[in-house]
Amino acid sequence: MITCFRINRLDNVATMLDDVVTSGIDVRVLGESTDNMKALEPIKLGHKIALIDIPEGSQIIKFGVAIGCAIRGIRAGEWVHLHNCASGFDERSQTLDVETGASTDVSYE
d(CA 73, CA 57): 8
Per-residue pLDDT tens over the stretch 45-93? 999 999 999 999 999 999 999 999 999 999 999 999 989 999 876 655 5
Query: Collapsing DSSP states into helix, strand and coil, what is residue 43?
Result: strand
Per-residue pLDDT tens over the stretch 21-54? 999 999 999 998 778 999 999 999 999 999 999 9
Specify the amino acid at residue 25: I
57: phi > 0 → left, psi -120 to 50 → alpha, else beta; which?
A: left
pTM of the prediction?
A: 0.81
Which domains are delineated in the chain? 2-95 (2.30.130.110)
